[in-house]
């Protein structure tokens, strides 16, 4: 069980940083004129790394206990694919609508996706 908890923690941290990266790229795509190198422009600012680490690391630590509760007896591969897909799609779609809507909307999206994994009767999420 200890390894399962570490895997879930690793997924939380990796997912949080992946979501932060997607948020920054989509945010830059909204602001930047076309034809520019997006990733170079985003990460050329020296404060982006520190702020992104703070805005990704803190939610990962907060989300871990809830993710552990929801995923401890579930198939981690299918659940993580489902949860990442839901949250990343929310970030991409909501950031296009409003700049910070993608960040703040990712928390309810994560909550709903984890609850679906935990309480739905779908066979694909069960640990067999």
- Per the listing, tokens 């949250």 go with 87
pLDDT-wise least confident of 36-50, 76-90, 113-127: 36-50
Query: What does the pLDDT read at residue 36?
Result: 60
Query: What does the pLDDT read at residue 42?
Result: 65
Q: What does the pLDDT average to over 94-98?
A: 87
Mean pLDDT of the chain: 86
* Cα(41)–Cα(59) distance, integer angstroms: 25
- Asked if pLDDT for residue 127 goes beyond 70, the answer is yes
pLDDT tens figures, 23-81: 888 887 777 666 566 667 667 777 777 887 888 889 999 999 999 999 988 999 999 99
Contact (Cβ atoms closer than 8 angstroms) between residue 75 and residue 32: no
Residues 9-46 as b/e (b if ≥16 CB within 10 A, e otherwise) read bebbbebbbebbbbbbbbbbeeeeeeeeebeeebeeee
pLDDT tens figures, 33-42: 665 666 676 6
Pick the residue with more confidence: 18 or 27?
A: 18
């Amino acid at each position: 069980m200890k390894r399962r908890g570490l895997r879930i923690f690793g997924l939380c941290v990796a997912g949080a940083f992946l979501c932060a990266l997607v948020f920054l790229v989509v945010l830059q795509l909204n602001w930047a004129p076309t034809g520019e190198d997006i990733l170079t422009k985003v990460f050329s600012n020296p404060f982006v790394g520190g702020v992104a680490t703070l805005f990704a690391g803190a939610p990962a630590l907060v989300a871990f206990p809830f993710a552990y509760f929801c995923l401890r007896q579930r198939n981690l591969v299918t659940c993580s694919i489902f949860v990442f897909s839901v949250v990343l799609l929310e970030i991409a779609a909501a950031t296009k609508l409003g700049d910070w809507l993608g960040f703040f909307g990712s928390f309810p999206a994560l909550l709903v996706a984890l609850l679906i994994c935990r309480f739905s009767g779908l066979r694909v999420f069960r640990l067999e």
